[in-house]
Amino acid sequence: MPAVDKLLLEEALQDSPQTRSLLSVFEEDAGTLTDYTNQLLQAMQRVYGAQNEMCLATQQLSKQLLAYEKQNFALGKGDEEVISTLQYFSKMVDELNVLHTELAKQLADTMVLHIIQFREKDLTEVSTLKDLFGLASSEHDLSMAKYSRLPKKKENEKVKAEVVKEVAAARRKQHLSSLQYYCALNALQYRKRVAMMEPMLGFAHGQINFFKKGAEMFSKSMDSLLSSAADMVQSIQVELEAEAEKMRVSQQELLCVDESVYTPDFDIAAPQTNRNLIQKAGYLNLRTKTGLVSTTWERLYFFTQGGNLMCQPRGAVAGGLIQDLDNCSVMAVDCEDRRYCFQITTPNGKSGIILQAESRKENDEWICAINNISRQIYLTDNPEAVAIKLNQTALEAVTPITSLGKKQENFSPSQNQKTSEMDNDKIVPKATASIPEAEQLIAPGTPIQFDIVLPATEFLDQNRGSRRINPFGEMEDETFPEAEDSLLQQMFIVRFLGSMAVKTDSTTEVIYEAMRQVLAARAIHNIFRMTESHLMVTSQTLRLIDPQTQVTRANFELTSVTQFAAHQENKRLVGFVIRIPESTGEESLSTYIFESNSEGEKICYAINLGKEIIEVQKDPEALAQLMLSMPLTNDGKFVLLNDQPDDNDGSSSENRGAESEA
Domain positions in the chain = 9-151+158-218, 281-392, 489-629
pLDDT for residue 105 is more than 60: yes
Q: Do residues 176 and 15 touch, judged by C-beta distance below 8 A?
A: no
pLDDT in tens, 517-559: 888 888 777 777 777 888 989 888 998 888 878 888 888 898 8
Other CB atoms closer than 10 Å to residue 645's CB: what's the count? 16
Q: What was the pLDDT predicted at 152? A: 76
Query: Which helix (H) or strand (E) covers residue 498, if one does?
Result: strand 489-502
Query: Which helix (H) or strand (E) covers residue 297, if one does?
Result: strand 295-305
Other CB atoms closer than 10 Å to residue 256's CB: what's the count? 7
* Equal CATH topology for 9-151+158-218 and 489-629: no
Could you give the dihedral angle defined by the CA atoms of residues 272, 274, 280 and 285, in that order, rounded to the nearest 10 degrees?
40
Q: What was the pLDDT predicted at 101? A: 94
Instruction: Kindly indicate the confidence band of residue 414, based on its pLDDT and cuts at 50, 70 and 90.
Output: very low
Instruction: Kindly indicate the confidence band of residue 2, based on its pLDDT and cuts at 50, 70 and 90.
Output: low
Lowest mean pLDDT among 326-330, 527-531, 570-574, 586-590: 527-531
pLDDT in tens, 270-295: 678 888 888 999 999 999 988 877 88
Q: What was the pLDDT predicted at 82? A: 86
Contacts of 93 (CB under 8 A, 6+ apart): 58, 61, 62, 65
Say whether 505 sits in a helix, a strand or coil: coil
Rg (CA), the chain: 54
Query: Distance (Å, rounded) from C-alpha 389 to C-alpha 285?
Result: 32
Query: Distance (Å, rounded) from C-alpha 536 to C-alpha 101?
Result: 97
- CATH class of domain segment(s) 281-392: mainly beta
| Average pLDDT over all residues of the chain | 79
Q: What was the pLDDT predicted at 7? A: 86
Burial 560-581 (b: 16+ CB within 10 A, else e): bbbbbbbbeeebbbbbbbbbbb
Query: What's domain 9-151+158-218's superfamily in CATH?
Result: Arfaptin homology (AH) domain/BAR domain (1.20.1270.60)
pLDDT in tens, 25-51: 999 999 999 999 999 999 999 999 999
The residues with which 351 forms a beta bridge, in sequence order, are: 345
Lowest mean pLDDT among 174-178, 190-194, 328-332: 328-332
pLDDT in tens, 219-241: 766 777 778 888 888 888 999 99
**CATH T-level assignment (fold) for domain 489-629:** PH-domain like (2.30.29)
Instruction: Kindly indicate the confidence band of residue 100, based on its pLDDT and cuts at 50, 70 and 90.
Output: very high
Q: What is the mean pLDDT of residues 164-180?
A: 92
pLDDT in tens, 649-661: 433 333 333 333 3
Higher-pLDDT residue of 655 and 185 is: 185
pLDDT for residue 193 is more than 50: yes
